[in-house]
Amino acid sequence: MNKRAGVRPAWLKIRVPGDLDRLPVAKLMHELALNTVCQEARCPNIFECWGAGTATFMILGDICTRRCTFCAVSRGTPGIVDPDEPRRVAEAVEKMGVRHAVITMVNRDDMPDGGAEQVAQTVHAVRERTGAAVEVLISDLEGNREALRAVIASKPEVLAHNIETVPRLYAQVRPVAKYARSLQVLRWAADEGMLTKSSRRRGDLHDGPVPRADGTASSRAPLLHSGRVRRAWRKRPCSRLPPRRIGASGPQFVHGTPCTRIRSPCRE
C-alpha cells in the first residue's frame, strides 16, 4: 500500500496486463523520438489505449513552463523546438492507422506565440499525410488571441482546453493559470466556429457544475470530461460526487469516471 495515497478501492485501481515496452506503440514512439502525454503524465489508461494501438502525442518537448500541482509532466526550462516534429507525428499517425489523432502540448510560456505555430504545423502535417481527423488539446496560450487564431486556422476537428478545476482552487492547483482566461479561450474558439471540449478533474460536492464560457451553468464546450488525477490525491481528499441532472443548456456529451481523461476515449 502507498502510505501517502492511502488505500484505494478496487474500482479505482488499474490492472497492469503486461510489459508496456513490448507494445508496438511503445516501439514506434521510441523509433520516432516522440513524446506522449500517456507516459509523461502517467495516464492510468495507457495500457488500454496503447494496447488498442492509439496514443496521445505531446509536442513542443517534454518540459512544461507551468507548475500545476496535479500534473506529473516535468517542469522547468524547455529546450529548442524541433522543426521536424510535425513530420514525425504525421508518420506515426500513418503507421498507427488511426482515424482520429489527438495532439496535446506542454505550456510554452517562453515562446511569443506559446507554441501555437508548431501546433498548427503538426495539424497540417497529419492531415496532409493521413487524412485523419485531428483533435488538439492546447494551453491557454497566455490569452494570446492571435496565437489561438493560428491554431484555429489549421482547422482541427476539435479544439480542447481544460478548465481543470473550480475558481476557488486555482491558486492551489493551477497557480500560474487564470480561470477567467481559460474560459475566454473556450469562448473565442467557440466564436470562431470550433467544436470545443474541456475537462474538470478537481472540485468538491459544493462546487456545482462546470461553468460555460460566459460563466453560467452550462458550457460553450459541448464535450465535457470529468475525472481524477492521481498526483493530487495525496494533497486533497477525493469526494464521491452524487449524480447531477444536466439541463438542456448543458454539455451535449459528458464522460465521467474516476480514470477519465479528456483524451480518452478519443476514438469514441
- Please tell me the predicted confidence (pLDDT) of residue 6: 61
User: Are 71 and 262 spatial neighbours (Cβ–Cβ below 8 Å)?
Assistant: no
Give the C-alpha separation, 139 to 10, whole Å: 33
- Please tell me the predicted confidence (pLDDT) of residue 231: 43
- What cell does 209 get? 457544475
- Please tell me the predicted confidence (pLDDT) of residue 241: 45
> Distance of CA 166 to CAs 5, 6, 240, Å?
23, 25, 16
Which structural domain, as residue segments, surrounds residue 141?
18-256
Let me know if residue 64 belongs to a domain: yes
Residue 195, burial from CB neighbour count under 10 angstroms (0-12, 13-18, 19+): middle
- Please tell me the predicted confidence (pLDDT) of residue 66: 95
Nearest to 23 by CA among 15, 31, 12: 31
Let me know if residue 1 belongs to a domain: no
Structural domain tally of the chain?
1
**pTM for this entry:** 0.78
Let me know if residue 240 belongs to a domain: yes
- Please tell me the predicted confidence (pLDDT) of residue 203: 52
Let me know if residue 262 belongs to a domain: no
- Within 10 angstroms of residue 75's Cβ, the number of other Cβ atoms is 14
Let me know if residue 264 belongs to a domain: no
Let me know if residue 195 belongs to a domain: yes
Let me know if residue 5 belongs to a domain: no
Half-sphere CA count of 130, side-chain side, radius 13 A: 24
Give the C-alpha separation, 184 to 254, whole Å: 21
- Domain of 223: which CATH number? 3.20.20
pLDDT in tens, the chain (268 residues): 445 556 766 666 666 666 788 899 999 999 999 999 988 888 878 888 888 899 999 999 999 999 988 888 999 999 999 999 999 999 999 999 999 999 999 999 999 999 999 999 999 999 999 999 999 999 999 999 999 999 999 999 999 999 888 888 888 889 999 999 999 999 999 999 999 988 876 554 445 555 454 443 344 555 454 444 444 444 444 444 444 444 444 555 455 555 444 445 544 5
For 66-105, give the DSSP string: ---TT--SEES------TTHHHHHHHHHHHHT-SEEEEEE
